[in-house]
Structure 1
Amino acid sequence: MYKHILLPTDGSAGSDAAIQAGVSLAKALGARVTGLHVVPPFHTFTYRPDMIEDTEEQYEKESEEQARKVLLTVEKLAQECGVPCDSVVVRSDDVHDAIIATARERQCDLIAMASHGRRGVRALLLGSETQKVLTHSLVPVLVYR
C-alpha cells in the first residue's frame, strides 16, 4: 500500500505521538520514513523572539542544531523499530508548502502528521499547517489527534 511515509515534526508532544504512530504504520506496511523539520529562514525584521538578538550565522547554527535534535526522535524510533529512515531540514516561511514540496520531491506516498488543534480566533487568524496541507496536498495525508 504505502511505501514511503513523510513525517513532519515540530518537536511538540503532538508531533512525537504522530511520529510514533507513523513509524509503527511504516513497520507494519514494510515502508520507509522520512523525517522533516521546517525552519524559518533568518529575517532582520521578525515576529520570532529567537531571531531578534541573533546574528544570521548564530541563528543558522542554532536552528540547525535544534532541527537535528528534533529529527533525532524520528531517527531513533525508526532504528529501534527496524524501519529505514532518512531526515531532512528545509528552510521556509511557508511550512505547509515545504511539507508538500518535500513529499513530492522525495516521492512520498503518504504524509502522516499531527493535528495541533488551534481553536477559536487563533485558528481563524493563524490557520493550521495541518489544515493547509490537507487542503493543498495531492499526496494522501493521515492526521493523528
Structure 2
Amino acid sequence: MFKHILFPTDGSPASVVAAAHCVRFAADIGARLTILHSSAPLHLFSYEPIVVDEAYEEYRRSRDRLCAECLAPVEELARNAGIPFDSVTVEADEPYTAIITTANNKGCDLVAMASHGRKGIKGVLLGSQTQKVLTHSALPVLVFR
C-alpha cells in the first residue's frame, strides 16, 4: 500500500481537520508523512536596490513565521501519533505545482489534502488547488472534504 504521504497545508481549519484524518490513516497503514506549506514568492521591482533588499528581508521573516504557524498543528498531530514526518516549505506562484513537484521530489506515493469545497464565483475566482492537483498529478490523490 502507500508508504509515503504528502500532506499540503494552508493552515486553514479545513486543512487541520483533514490533517487529523490523514495522520490517523498514515498511522493505520504505517506510512511516513511529508508536510508541505507553499507560499507565494515576492515579486517586487524598484529603482532603489536598498528598498528591494529591505522588502525581501521583511517578507522572508513574515513568510517564515506564517509557514511555521501553518505547519505546527500538523507536526503536532504527527508527533503525538508517533508517525515519522518531515516538513517542507517552498515558494511557488501556484500551490498545486509546488504540491506535485514536492511529492515527486520526495518520492511520495500519495498526496492527501483538504478540499475547501468552494463553489460558484468563489470557486471560479480563487480556483481549486485540489482540483488542479487531481487534474495534473500522476500520483493518487486522497481528498478530505
> TM above 0.5, one fold?
yes
What CA distance in whole angstroms lies between the structure 1 residues aligned with 2:105 and 2:142? Answer: 19
Q: How many pairs are equivalent?
A: 137
What CA distance in whole angstroms lies between the structure 2 residues aligned with 1:71 and 1:124? Answer: 27
Instruction: Find out whether 1:74 has 2:88 as its counterpart.
Output: no
How many percent of aligned residue pairs carry the same amino acid?
51
What CA distance in whole angstroms lies between the structure 1 residues aligned with 2:35 and 2:81? Answer: 15
SS in 2 for 1:101: helix
- Larger Cα Rg: Structure 1 or Structure 2? 2
Q: What is the aligned partner in structure 1 of residue 62 from structure 2?
A: 62
Q: What is the aligned partner in structure 2 of residue 42 from structure 1?
A: 42
Q: How does 1:53-132 map to 2 (within 5 A)?
A: 55-132=55-132
Q: CA deviation at 1:13?
A: 0.6
Question: Which TM-score applies when normalising by structure 2?
Answer: 0.90
Q: What is the aligned partner in structure 1 of residue 29 from structure 2?
A: 29
Q: What is the aligned partner in structure 2 of residue 50 from structure 1?
A: none
2:122 counterpart letter in structure 1 = R
What CA distance in whole angstroms lies between the structure 2 residues aligned with 1:65 and 1:22? Answer: 24
RMSD (CA atoms): 1.3
Q: CA deviation at 1:90?
A: 0.5
Structure 1 stretches of at least 4 aligned residues deviating more than 6 Å after TM superposition: none
2:85 counterpart letter in structure 1 = C
What CA distance in whole angstroms lies between the structure 2 residues aligned with 1:15 and 1:4? Answer: 19
User: 1:67-111 CA deviation, whole Å, 9 max, x = no partner?
Assistant: 012111121111100100100000011110100000000011111
